[in-house]
Structure 1
Amino acid sequence: MRVVVVGGGLGGMASAARLAKLGHEVVLVERSADLGGALGTVRAGDHTWDAGPTKTLLPAVLRDLFRKSGRPLERELELVPLAAIREHRFADGSTLRLPAGSRAAQRSAFEELAPGLGDRWTSYVDALGQDWELLRRDYLERPWDPGLADPGAVRRLASRQTLRSRLREALGEQRLQQVAAHPFTVDGHDPARVPAWLGTVSYVEQKFGAWTVPGGMAQVGEALARRLATRKVEVLTGTSAHDVVVRSGRAAALSTSAGELDADAVVCAVDPTRLPTLARHVRRTRSTTPPSLVHLGLRGEVPTLDCEVVLHGAPDLSVHPGGTAPDGGASWTVAYRGRTSEDVLETMARRGLDVRACVVERVERTPAQLSAQWGGSPLGVRWHGRGTVRRRLGPTTPVPGVYAAGSHATPGSGIPFVGLSAALVAQAIGRA
């Protein structure tokens, strides 16, 4: 079967690699000159930064992708665990360093923040374990079918409870709520519109930890590009997709700037609003907006950061170490949402992280610039209550022969979930 994949980001590359290994003839279409999407690199002087994510959860997803499309991940790149998920510096001056992959260590960290908070946090996360096991089996690892799913999973996806209400009920204390909500607020979601079961991210962080690639997560994209060549996927860069061509009620081709590409199936791994045939089916969804990014090249007496540091305030600032720098230097990326009344470096200094005298390189990227570069938001669909589950596409779509992967598809954004979306598409299409 001939499959045309739209989009050369992680979702598109992962889908193409899996489908090619299943014996399909695969063509991948990418509008820009390079593959990788948000898994890219920003360069200035002697410094580099990750263009998008700097770490990942659930490393088993990447390992499964590489193993089932050819050589194991370990033969391509090094994936190493982080000691901490992130460090939270709160407005009242208190600090919490959230350990990765350890229930006991997290309990101790919260107890140091204030007596009694350790038990409150672990009780909250423990309760999410059942949610995770139900949804992992029926929603994340196979195409969703309410007729086959465990009734408990059906009830959880249909629940009206929001993350905000669950956090208030289970955690109460404001700082604990900020820690649990951060994975969503940093991506532009309102916890009052995020379903409560998505709190399972905290369970995943505690159970499996966070992982990164020394030198930058862009290496994941580079390794996948090599995998596509090995699997003999035809890659058409610099080629814009216009729309799915439907004949006799199902997808028959993809209209592109290079002409029509015949297809037995089309995989949309970009924002579906870019393809008119799919856009009409997602009118009730909205994409999240990327944050503002400031990439800093630093030299001199630079504080040592080994994980994301969240400086809570108005607005929150997320400082990510990573990338590459000359000896004695460092490369940081600062992400924030909304407007600031002063330069971001001044805000960082007021909150106890002063690197103003260390800056040798600075690259600013606005939300509009990021969306234009990537052809949409890599953060996918904004959560708007439980209805987002059914309004979002993937792995199948209402158009026969068209499938959906990537951050705008089920199960959502972030490296592990985009990787899972590709696995779901491969299951839905099956072997050649």
Structure 2
Amino acid sequence: MARIAVIGAGMGSLAAAARLATGGHRVAVYERAQTYGGGVGRYERDGFAFDTGPGLLHLPAVYRDLFVKTGKETLERTVELVQVDPASRHLLPDGTGFALPNASRAGVVAALDEAFGAGAGERWSEVMNRARAVWEVTRRPLLEDTLAADTGPLGRDPYPARRGLFGRGSARTLAEVGRRELKHPGLVSLLAGYVLAYGYDPGTAPASAAVLPYMEQTFGSWYVGGGLRALADAVYERCLARGVEFHFGAEVADVVEKDGRAVGVELADGTLADADTVVRGTPRDPLPVDLARFTVLLALRGPRPAGTAHRTIVHGADSAHDGRPGTGAPTVAVLRPEDARLRPDDGHEAVTLTVTVPAQGPVDWTAEGYADAFADRVVEVAEAAIPGLSERILWREVRTPADTERQTGFRGGAVPGPALAGASGAYLRTGNRARAEGLYLVGGSAHPGGGLAHAGMSGAIVADLIAGGPGGSR
């Protein structure tokens, strides 16, 4: 079987490595950091533990398939997988609050009617029905199959034009979908919040981005016991069980090519590692510097109250926030998992606050005092979800886009979002086959884009291509 060198140990790389090793290939992973998981990191201090990347898992079927295809132990027997309910609680600037049940269309309609009046839930449901049409059209070419040579069809937005009293009309951006079809400012803010969470600005993201809340509300939100880092641990252990060889602290300087074919990798120290095939799971061609995440990790004194929602969204500005004073309140996601493994005892609580912000570059998050001042504002906003928050803080850890850039190598700390159809292909990622023969691309900067589920799909596509298949994750 082939010798395969995998560059990087992010989730897409791990997913590809596990599948390839199961197929009998000799797989070696080269990672510049001292650990695996890429953006799925963990921070521990004084008995507290925090995910430093995603906090919830969507489309868990992707990882169920990975574990079924690579061993006897299923995903559920390997990690604790818990469906979060309610999926989210929402607090609007006018004081309106409501909670949305997990994966229940009827429950969401009822909750929105109660919050905003009769008919609000139906308007939301109509948008989700149009998003379902996007899902049905794009699921295979945009997510499950390798990117076609002709991407023209995916450059056209599949979000259906709305038929109504004033005839046909097509919304070009998600913000237009909100204004024209949802109308109520609370519903508009709800839609914008979903897309901001994926690192996209509703004002520029195509209308097809409505598929993101559709996917979440249809397939549910899941928490991994011990935090999402436990999923990275499980995939890494599966790789080891299949015989994958890991080299940490081994930065790859270049892919070695001969006669137009990848034949190995050269490490930063000059070491050459021969391979028949190379899988690159690290960014090479920089993505556009767009949006990133600003995170505040909070160690709190006092217990987590019973009945607390796992995730609360405190809505502010319906766009990315640059941290400047006088620009309104940011939208803050407050994660409060009920998990004893994340705190020293029941008299304390570990809380994560996350905001979508411009990447490092357009904003200098390293400027003296800038990040700390913005963290103060984020904590102040989060007080709406956690009354008395400031008085409970034992300590905090602030993570900026500049920190993410150092950790992951993505320029500006930009967190790649999932691929989207429309906008003339601006939201598509690089195909999984590289220019050189024998070189494949996986992970957030490759098709089908960023996010845990998409990384797993990317790994499946690449493994299938190397095995001689058409490149499908089904």
TM-score (norm 2): 0.82
1:4-43 matches, cutoff 5 A: 4-43=5-44
**1:29 and 1:239 in contact (8 A); partners too:** yes
Structure 2: runs of 5 or more not aligned: 160-169, 317-328, 358-369, 470-474
Where does residue 346 of structure 2 map in the other structure? Answer: 327
Structure 1: runs of 5 or more not aligned: 273-278
Distance in structure 2 (CA, Å) of the matches to 1:403 and 1:141: 16
Where does residue 406 of structure 1 map in the other structure? Answer: 443
Q: In terms of mean alpha carbon deviation, does 225-234 or 127-136 score higher?
A: 127-136
Q: Aligned pair in 2 of structure 1 residues 399, 36: CA closer, same or farther (>3 Å)?
A: same
Deviation at 1:41, TM superposition (A): 1.5
Deviation at 1:351, TM superposition (A): 6.9
Deviation at 1:83, TM superposition (A): 0.8
Where does residue 61 of structure 1 map in the other structure? Answer: 62
Where does residue 360 of structure 1 map in the other structure? Answer: 394
Q: Aligned pair in 2 of structure 1 residues 73, 166: CA closer, same or farther (>3 Å)?
A: same
Distance in structure 2 (CA, Å) of the matches to 1:251 and 1:157: 37
1:371-410 matches, cutoff 5 A: 371-376=405-410, 377=413, 379-380=415-416, 385-390=423-428, 392-410=429-447
Q: Aligned pair in 2 of structure 1 residues 146, 111: CA closer, same or farther (>3 Å)?
A: farther
Q: Aligned pair in 2 of structure 1 residues 378, 53: CA closer, same or farther (>3 Å)?
A: farther
Distance in structure 1 (CA, Å) of the matches to 2:435 and 2:194: 31
Where does residue 2 of structure 1 map in the other structure? Answer: 3
**2:156 and 2:423 in contact (8 A); partners too:** no
Q: In terms of mean alpha carbon deviation, does 355-364 or 89-98 score higher?
A: 355-364
Where does residue 323 of structure 2 map in the other structure? Answer: none
**2:14 and 2:236 in contact (8 A); partners too:** yes
Deviation at 1:169, TM superposition (A): 2.6
Distance in structure 1 (CA, Å) of the matches to 2:276 and 2:264: 7
Distance in structure 1 (CA, Å) of the matches to 2:280 and 2:52: 22
Where does residue 107 of structure 1 map in the other structure? Answer: 109
Where does residue 270 of structure 1 map in the other structure? Answer: 282
Identity fraction in percent: 32
Where does residue 290 of structure 1 map in the other structure? Answer: 292
For the pair 1:134 / 2:137, whether they are aligned, the reply is: yes
Deviation at 1:121, TM superposition (A): 0.5
Q: Could you report, residue by residue, the CA deviation over 1:386-416 in whole angstroms, capped at 9, with x for unpaired residues?
A: 33345x2132223332211111111121111
**1:38 and 1:378 in contact (8 A); partners too:** no
For the pair 1:162 / 2:173, whether they are aligned, the reply is: yes
Deviation at 1:381, TM superposition (A): 5.9
Where does residue 333 of structure 2 map in the other structure? Answer: 318
**2:173 and 2:206 in contact (8 A); partners too:** yes
Deviation at 1:268, TM superposition (A): 1.5
Q: Aligned pair in 2 of structure 1 residues 145, 187: CA closer, same or farther (>3 Å)?
A: closer
Deviation at 1:23, TM superposition (A): 2.2
**1:14 and 1:419 in contact (8 A); partners too:** yes
Distance in structure 1 (CA, Å) of the matches to 2:192 and 2:440: 31
Distance in structure 1 (CA, Å) of the matches to 2:434 and 2:289: 18
Q: Aligned pair in 2 of structure 1 residues 358, 200: CA closer, same or farther (>3 Å)?
A: same
Distance in structure 2 (CA, Å) of the matches to 1:146 and 1:87: 42
Distance in structure 1 (CA, Å) of the matches to 2:283 and 2:426: 15
Where 1:93 maps in the other structure, the secondary structure is coil
The aligned amino acid for 2:354 is A
The aligned amino acid for 2:437 is P
Where 1:43 maps in the other structure, the secondary structure is strand
Q: Aligned pair in 2 of structure 1 residues 152, 239: CA closer, same or farther (>3 Å)?
A: closer
Distance in structure 2 (CA, Å) of the matches to 1:288 and 1:233: 34
Distance in structure 2 (CA, Å) of the matches to 1:343 and 1:154: 39
Q: In terms of mean alpha carbon deviation, does 367-376 or 96-105 score higher?
A: 367-376
**1:16 and 1:228 in contact (8 A); partners too:** yes
Q: Aligned pair in 2 of structure 1 residues 160, 387: CA closer, same or farther (>3 Å)?
A: farther
Distance in structure 1 (CA, Å) of the matches to 2:231 and 2:400: 24
Distance in structure 2 (CA, Å) of the matches to 1:343 and 1:202: 27
For the pair 1:124 / 2:127, whether they are aligned, the reply is: yes
**2:291 and 2:356 in contact (8 A); partners too:** no
Where does residue 378 of structure 2 map in the other structure? Answer: 344
Find the partner of 1:185 among 193, 196, 207: 196
Distance in structure 1 (CA, Å) of the matches to 2:120 and 2:235: 42
Distance in structure 2 (CA, Å) of the matches to 1:169 and 1:397: 41
Distance in structure 1 (CA, Å) of the matches to 2:276 and 2:417: 27
Distance in structure 2 (CA, Å) of the matches to 1:168 and 1:398: 42
For the pair 1:90 / 2:92, whether they are aligned, the reply is: yes
Deviation at 1:317, TM superposition (A): 1.4
Q: Could you report, residue by residue, the CA deviation over 1:65-118 in whole angstroms, capped at 9, with x for unpaired residues?
A: 111111311221111111122222111111131221011000011101112111
Deviation at 1:122, TM superposition (A): 0.7
Q: Aligned pair in 2 of structure 1 residues 139, 363: CA closer, same or farther (>3 Å)?
A: same
Q: Could you report, residue by residue, the CA deviation over 1:32-82 in whole angstroms, capped at 9, with x for unpaired residues?
A: 111122222211111111121111111101101111111311221111111
Q: Could you report, residue by residue, the CA deviation over 1:233-253 in whole angstroms, capped at 9, with x for unpaired residues?
A: 111111001111221112122
Distance in structure 2 (CA, Å) of the matches to 1:160 and 1:412: 24
Q: Aligned pair in 2 of structure 1 residues 290, 223: CA closer, same or farther (>3 Å)?
A: same
Where 1:74 maps in the other structure, the secondary structure is helix
Find the partner of 1:426 among 455, 463, 472: 463
1:252-271 matches, cutoff 5 A: 252-258=263-269, 259-271=271-283
Q: In terms of mean alpha carbon deviation, does 361-370 or 234-243 score higher?
A: 361-370
Q: In terms of mean alpha carbon deviation, does 219-228 or 79-88 score higher?
A: 79-88
The aligned amino acid for 2:11 is L
Q: Could you report, residue by residue, the CA deviation over 1:316-336 in whole angstroms, capped at 9, with x for unpaired residues?
A: 111112361111321101112
Q: Could you report, residue by residue, the CA deviation over 1:228-273 in whole angstroms, capped at 9, with x for unpaired residues?
A: 111111111110011112211121221113512212222121222x
Deviation at 1:27, TM superposition (A): 1.0
